[in-house]
Protein backbone atom coordinates (compact mmCIF):
# COMPACT_ATOMS: atom_id res chain seq x y z
CA UNK A 1 0.00 0.00 0.00
CA UNK A 2 2.89 2.33 0.72
CA UNK A 3 4.06 1.89 -2.87
CA UNK A 4 0.75 3.23 -4.26
CA UNK A 5 0.82 6.17 -1.91
CA UNK A 6 4.33 7.06 -3.07
CA UNK A 7 3.32 6.77 -6.75
CA UNK A 8 0.22 8.90 -6.17
CA UNK A 9 2.22 11.54 -4.29
CA UNK A 10 4.90 11.65 -6.99
CA UNK A 11 2.34 11.97 -9.80
CA UNK A 12 0.62 14.83 -7.97
CA UNK A 13 3.94 16.61 -7.52
CA UNK A 14 4.93 16.17 -11.17
CA UNK A 15 1.55 17.41 -12.37
CA UNK A 16 2.17 20.67 -10.52
CA UNK A 17 5.42 21.44 -12.40
CA UNK A 18 4.80 24.21 -14.90
CA UNK A 19 5.27 23.49 -18.58
CA UNK A 20 7.96 26.17 -18.80
CA UNK A 21 10.49 23.52 -17.80
CA UNK A 22 9.66 21.70 -21.02
CA UNK A 23 10.21 24.66 -23.34
CA UNK A 24 9.91 24.00 -27.04
CA UNK A 25 13.30 23.31 -28.54
CA UNK A 26 13.43 24.02 -32.24
CA UNK A 27 16.31 23.21 -34.53
CA UNK A 28 16.77 25.96 -37.08
CA UNK A 29 18.55 25.05 -40.29
CA UNK A 30 20.56 27.68 -42.15
CA UNK A 31 21.17 27.36 -45.88
CA UNK A 32 24.81 27.81 -46.83
CA UNK A 33 24.39 27.76 -50.57
CA UNK A 34 23.93 25.46 -53.53
CA UNK A 35 26.23 22.95 -55.19
CA UNK A 36 25.64 20.76 -58.25
CA UNK A 37 25.50 16.99 -57.97
CA UNK A 38 28.29 15.21 -59.77
CA UNK A 39 29.00 11.68 -60.83
CA UNK A 40 30.97 9.88 -63.47
CA UNK A 41 28.78 8.56 -66.28
CA UNK A 42 25.88 10.74 -65.13
CA UNK A 43 23.18 12.02 -67.44
CA UNK A 44 22.92 15.82 -67.61
CA UNK A 45 19.76 17.26 -66.12
CA UNK A 46 17.05 18.22 -68.59
CA UNK A 47 14.08 20.55 -68.21
CA UNK A 48 11.53 18.70 -66.08
CA UNK A 49 14.10 16.32 -64.55
CA UNK A 50 12.98 14.68 -61.32
CA UNK A 51 15.11 13.49 -58.39
CA UNK A 52 14.02 10.41 -56.44
CA UNK A 53 17.13 9.99 -54.27
CA UNK A 54 20.11 12.01 -53.06
CA UNK A 55 23.26 10.23 -51.91
CA UNK A 56 26.22 11.94 -50.22
CA UNK A 57 29.32 10.00 -49.22
CA UNK A 58 30.86 9.51 -46.77
CA UNK A 59 27.85 9.50 -44.47
CA UNK A 60 30.11 9.97 -41.46
CA UNK A 61 33.22 12.08 -41.93
CA UNK A 62 35.66 11.97 -39.01
CA UNK A 63 38.15 14.84 -38.83
CA UNK A 64 40.60 16.27 -36.35
CA UNK A 65 39.80 19.49 -34.55
CA UNK A 66 40.80 22.48 -36.70
CA UNK A 67 41.16 20.49 -39.95
CA UNK A 68 39.59 22.13 -43.02
CA UNK A 69 36.92 20.11 -44.80
CA UNK A 70 35.37 21.32 -48.06
CA UNK A 71 32.09 20.24 -49.62
CA UNK A 72 33.91 19.59 -52.91
CA UNK A 73 35.67 16.63 -51.24
CA UNK A 74 32.34 14.81 -50.84
CA UNK A 75 30.63 12.58 -53.38
CA UNK A 76 27.22 14.16 -53.99
CA UNK A 77 24.86 12.34 -56.35
CA UNK A 78 21.23 12.78 -57.31
CA UNK A 79 19.29 10.00 -59.03
CA UNK A 80 16.38 10.21 -61.45
CA UNK A 81 13.33 7.92 -61.60
CA UNK A 82 15.18 5.54 -63.94
CA UNK A 83 17.90 5.01 -61.31
CA UNK A 84 20.57 6.85 -63.29
CA UNK A 85 22.69 9.54 -61.67
CA UNK A 86 22.03 13.10 -62.78
CA UNK A 87 24.94 15.49 -63.31
CA UNK A 88 24.39 19.08 -62.28
CA UNK A 89 21.25 18.64 -60.18
CA UNK A 90 21.22 21.60 -57.76
CA UNK A 91 21.59 20.62 -54.11
CA UNK A 92 21.03 23.04 -51.25
CA UNK A 93 23.37 22.65 -48.24
CA UNK A 94 22.21 23.48 -44.72
CA UNK A 95 23.64 23.30 -41.20
CA UNK A 96 22.14 23.91 -37.80
CA UNK A 97 22.05 27.62 -36.91
CA UNK A 98 23.37 26.94 -33.41
CA UNK A 99 26.47 25.23 -34.85
CA UNK A 100 27.38 27.89 -37.39
CA UNK A 101 30.07 29.60 -35.26
CA UNK A 102 31.74 26.32 -34.27
CA UNK A 103 32.10 25.28 -37.93
CA UNK A 104 33.98 28.48 -38.96
CA UNK A 105 32.69 28.62 -42.54
CA UNK A 106 34.71 29.94 -45.47
CA UNK A 107 34.01 30.08 -49.21
CA UNK A 108 37.25 29.78 -51.18
CA UNK A 109 36.82 29.76 -54.96
CA UNK A 110 33.10 28.97 -54.88
CA UNK A 111 33.51 26.01 -52.51
CA UNK A 112 32.04 25.80 -49.01
CA UNK A 113 34.60 24.84 -46.37
CA UNK A 114 34.45 24.26 -42.62
CA UNK A 115 37.19 24.35 -39.99
CA UNK A 116 35.56 23.06 -36.79
CA UNK A 117 36.64 24.92 -33.66
CA UNK A 118 34.92 22.55 -31.22
CA UNK A 119 34.81 18.79 -30.90
CA UNK A 120 31.40 17.28 -31.52
CA UNK A 121 29.07 15.93 -34.17
CA UNK A 122 27.67 18.28 -36.78
CA UNK A 123 24.84 17.24 -39.13
CA UNK A 124 24.93 18.63 -42.65
CA UNK A 125 21.88 18.37 -44.93
CA UNK A 126 21.79 18.22 -48.70
CA UNK A 127 18.40 18.76 -50.34
CA UNK A 128 17.62 18.54 -54.04
CA UNK A 129 16.11 21.68 -55.50
CA UNK A 130 14.53 19.49 -58.20
CA UNK A 131 11.30 17.87 -57.09
CA UNK A 132 10.53 14.16 -57.01
CA UNK A 133 7.68 12.76 -59.16
CA UNK A 134 5.33 13.16 -56.15
CA UNK A 135 6.26 16.89 -55.95
CA UNK A 136 8.25 16.50 -52.69
CA UNK A 137 11.95 17.14 -52.16
CA UNK A 138 14.56 14.46 -51.54
CA UNK A 139 17.68 14.84 -49.48
CA UNK A 140 20.52 13.26 -47.56
CA UNK A 141 22.25 14.00 -44.29
CA UNK A 142 25.84 13.39 -43.29
CA UNK A 143 27.61 13.84 -39.98
CA UNK A 144 30.91 15.65 -39.48
CA UNK A 145 32.50 14.09 -36.39
CA UNK A 146 35.22 16.21 -34.89
CA UNK A 147 37.65 15.00 -32.23
The model's pTM is: 0.80
pLDDT of residue 3: 55
Identify whether 37 is part of a domain: yes
% of the chain exceeding 70 in pLDDT: 84
Q: How many domains does the chain have?
A: 1
Q: Tell me the CA end-to-end span of the chain in Å, nearest whole number.
A: 52
Residue 55 confidence (pLDDT) above 70: yes
Average pLDDT over residues 124-136: 96
**Edge-to-edge strand order for the sheet containing 60-63?**
29-36, 90-96, 120-128, 139-146, 60-63
- Structural domain span for residue 56: 23-146
| pLDDT, tens digit, 9 for 90 and up, residues 73-126 | 999 999 999 999 999 999 999 999 999 999 999 999 889 999 999 999 999 999
Could you check whether the bond before residue 13 is cis, i.e. omega within 30 degrees of 0?
Answer: no
What CATH number should be reported for the domain holding residue 50?
A: 2.60.40
Amino acid sequence: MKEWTAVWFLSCCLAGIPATFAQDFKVVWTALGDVPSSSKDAAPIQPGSKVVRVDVQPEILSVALGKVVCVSSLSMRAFGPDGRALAGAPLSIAIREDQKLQLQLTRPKGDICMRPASAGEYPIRFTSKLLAPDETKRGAQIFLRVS
